[in-house]
Chain A
């Protein structure tokens, strides 16, 4: 075997050398391998042979082609590359065929790699699709992709807000005010607690983004229940808080919640119907897609008061028109003080105007995909380098906080006002019964800035003022920053 290998290696030498000494070299190899047995000696033999090969093969070629040896002498002083043709030893047809096939294979491999393996390396490193989830771009009205996420807490509290199917994409966030107000209305006994723990554990095992942690948390919940750790909590809110704490002791995930809702939860939400869609479209039309004000203020500052980030499929035209009408402004103020969130796609559409290159927008609610990048630059847009101010309040929530958070992290905007509400909504809502539900993160988004986002803590503004004073403060800041005209 090894003799065959060496015979093959000998073919590296020029044919003249092979003819003269090939057989003898093989003979020498046979002699040595007969005499030098044992692992170390064999190893030495092969080291000798390979180093000898590396040294003597080039030397043999220099010998048959003296031109090669004097090659350096032919180099022009400027280092201009030159070619030499050595016609003495022509290539055999086999060598030509082999060379042709090898180049073809290399070409094919390279183009395949280019198309599949290494495209956008930094981007593909970020993209991690989870097959179990509907595509990030699917419309909330797509009946084939039922939205699991509902925000019952918000619906219960925000009855004055217009019903927006778009909000169906907003998962649960415990509304603490509602829960804190009237406690202890649902009495819990051991059977009830066991039922809820069992349902919660099953949900964790089935849905939590990291299967291993999900199983551990489920086991912990069950263990606490068996050990009687839950016996003290008699009312729903207390029990929900306790279970949330037990889950987070295993996996400190602030997006994971078990919530208690005073008002009975609506029955399992069906997919939005065509009627819902029509009603939503009608509402948006009436409300100008929640663009409450689009104005040019003094100092040529553009001002947009936007009260949600509505569905792109309905409101793209309105949003584009709004941005176009402030296109010539010298600075721009986004008033999000009454913005309760909405669609990440609209957040991305609006943010696109503020950059001259695609930017990654972090959104804890969705897997990182190519959709996570803004479609910047926007043709004809003049706002990419203008100062941006975002007005915030404690009511600024969810998707609006994503807008604030990402622009703050990208150092693209000055946030003026109050710390925002703290609704990251990254969990998908799972109803347990009429009063209990869970927000379970099922996706993994990459946060390039830090581990923590705005879940529960909100986004802190750069300039802290009362929400009512935010507009004047921002205008003042803009006036100082803009050149005097």
Chain B
């Protein structure tokens, strides 16, 4: 079931994988990271965020780490999420798929700029 849900990879799930690529984050951290890396275009609401997280956890692409406090946010203990190696691999293959797409777009003169 989760496999089906992630093929093709939804935009929200891909963004979450990317957000977790550099560091472990809690839910709110993921939301802010995603907003930052999309220039504010994608603000994940709690429902979308946690249902994507649930799917990714079930597919073992990310995993929960021990709950701890966020020094900056204070007080409450929060669940943190970490990218698994499977998750990193999937994110990479998705990025490559997009890069292929970009190459096609550039060769068709739809998009200008450097080849990647």
Instruction: Name A's B-contacting residues (CB within 8 A).
Output: 13, 17, 20-21, 24-25, 27-29, 31-32, 44, 48-49, 51-53, 55-57, 59-60, 63, 66
Contacts and interface: CB of A to CB of B under 8 A. Distances in A.
Interface of B: 1, 27-28, 31, 43-51, 53-54, 73, 76, 78-79
Contacts of B43: 44, 48
Contacts of A66: 1
Contact of A63 (B28, B46, B51, B73): B51
A27 B51 contact: no
B76 A57 contact: no
A437 B21 CA distance: 98
Contacts of B47: 13, 25, 52-53, 55-57, 59-60
Contacts of B31: 28, 32
Contacts of A13: 47
A56 B1 contact: no
A17 B46 contact: no
Contacts of B79: 24
A31 B54 CA distance: 20
Contacts of B28: 27-28, 31-32
Given A24-B27, A48-B43, A52-B45, A31 B50 contact: no
Nearest to B58: A63
Contacts of A25: 27, 46-47, 50
Interface centre among B43, B45, B53 (most CB of A within 10 A): B45
Given A24-B78, A25-B27, A51-B45, 18 more contacts: A17-B50, A17-B51, A21-B46, A24-B79, A27-B78, A29-B46, A31-B28, A49-B45, A52-B44, A53-B45, A55-B45, A55-B47, A55-B48, A56-B45, A56-B47, A60-B47, A60-B51, A66-B1
Contacts of A63: 51
Given A55-B47, A56-B48, A20 B54 contact: yes
Contacts of B48: 52, 55-56
8 contacts: A24-B78, A27-B76, A28-B27, A28-B28, A52-B47, A53-B47, A57-B47, A59-B51
Given A27-B78, A28-B28, A28-B31, A52 B46 contact: yes
A48 B27 contact: no
Nearest to B43: A48
A24 B50 contact: yes
A48 to B, nearest CB: 5
A373 B79 CA distance: 75
Nearest to A20: B54
Nearest to B29: A31
B15 to A, nearest CB: 15
Contacts of A60: 47, 51
B93 to A, nearest CB: 25
A133 B50 CA distance: 69
A32 B49 CA distance: 14
Interface centre among B31, B46, B48, B50 (most CB of A within 10 A): B46
A51 B47 CA distance: 10
Contacts of A24: 27, 46, 50, 78-79
Nearest to B1: A66
B51 A56 contact: yes
A21 B47 CA distance: 9
A28 B53 CA distance: 14
Given A17-B50, A21-B50, A27 B45 contact: no
A370 to B, nearest CB: 55
A29 B50 CA distance: 12
A130 to B, nearest CB: 57
Contacts of A49: 45-46
Nearest to A16: B54
A28 B54 contact: no
A104 B48 CA distance: 36
